[in-house]
Amino acid sequence: MEHRNIGSLKVSVVGLGCNNFGWRTDAAGTAAVVKAALDAGINFFDTADVYGGGRSEEFLGKALKGRRNEVILATKFGMKTPEGKQGARPEYVRQALDASLRRLQVETIDLYQIHLPDPNTPIADTLQALNDAVKTGKVREIGCSNFSAEQIRAARATPGPRHFASVQNDYSLVKRDAEEEVLPECALTGVAFLPYFPLANGLLTGKYRKGKTFPEGSRGKDAFGPKVFTPQNIERVEALIAFAESRGHSLLELAFSWLAAHSEVSSVIAGAKTPEQIRANSRAASWKLTAGDLAEVDRILARS
């Protein structure tokens, strides 16, 4: 497994997104997926205090008992919790951090991220609280999520010893907004980019095909369906499958390896509900796409 940097952290190029834990996956299922991920060489685990109403952190903490030193552990704060708490005010940052540490049963979080911008709190105030957390040893690196390039620049212009080491935004073969400003900003400043929804909510797994009914209980059938599983995107999937298979690879491998081909990307974060899924994901970023391959993918997406 290849490793890349997020500040001082060395993370596997394939990471495990833990948003299914505590929601689609119970404690036993979480433990099985976590074990499979570690056995496959994945060391980067990304969760949030709102996933599963806090149960994601709880289940992950239990599953990592005895193996904490093998893991780079990331979590997030700022979205509205079941208790109605949210935001990035300094006092809330401290409360949310301590709550996450308790649920995860750890003394330090490797990467602590603000889940989304808080328009009601100056970024300088939030960064001061996060720097204090680093100073006390509760956090190793700090990051942000769902930030624009302008917001990243504003944070970077704030005085302080520690700035955001990473930004985690939506990015995939069919969702490429990040290429307009955020990825160039990462390339310029060395901020690590962490793509979430790399499989576009399952669209890029290869199990959704033109003319076939979506499986019951799948992402194509739930709230994501109308937003992602559009006729145009299904046509794109067919073209991308044909391209990947012509090179001896699957659509899943293309989705991961295309993201990993971008030097700004440090880890491709994807969820998994079963050990089989995590094992497939762990192998999927090994295809080294050539410049010609990347150009061909651009041509396919431009015409579909």
C-alpha–C-alpha distance, residues 14 and 23, integer Å: 22
For residues 165, 168, 174 and 175, what is the CA-based torsion angle, rounded to 10 degrees?
A: -100
Report which residue type is found at 98: D
Q: Are strands 14-17 and 139-145 parallel, antiparallel or unpaired?
A: unpaired
Helices 182-189 and 149-156 pack at an angle, to 10 degrees, of 30
At 112 the three-state DSSP class reads strand
Question: Can 112 be counted among the known catalytic residues?
Answer: no
| Residue of 51, 112, 171, 196 marked active site | 51
C-alpha–C-alpha distance, residues 157 and 55, integer Å: 36
User: How far from each other are the two terminal CA atoms of the chain, in whole angstroms?
Assistant: 33
At 250 the three-state DSSP class reads coil
C-alpha–C-alpha distance, residues 236 and 203, integer Å: 10
C-alpha–C-alpha distance, residues 274 and 108, integer Å: 27
Give which of 116, 240, 244, 265 is closest to 178, Cα–Cα.
265
**Residue tagged 């919790």 (tokens):** 81
Q: Give the list of residues 6+ apart from residue 248 with CB closer than 8 angstroms, or none.
A: none
Give the residue ranges of DSSP H helices in 123-217: 123-135, 149-156, 182-189
Give which of 31, 43, 33 is closest to 2, Cα–Cα.
43
- 74, β-bridge pairs: 46, 111
At 272 the three-state DSSP class reads coil
Indicate which residues carry an active-site annotation: 51
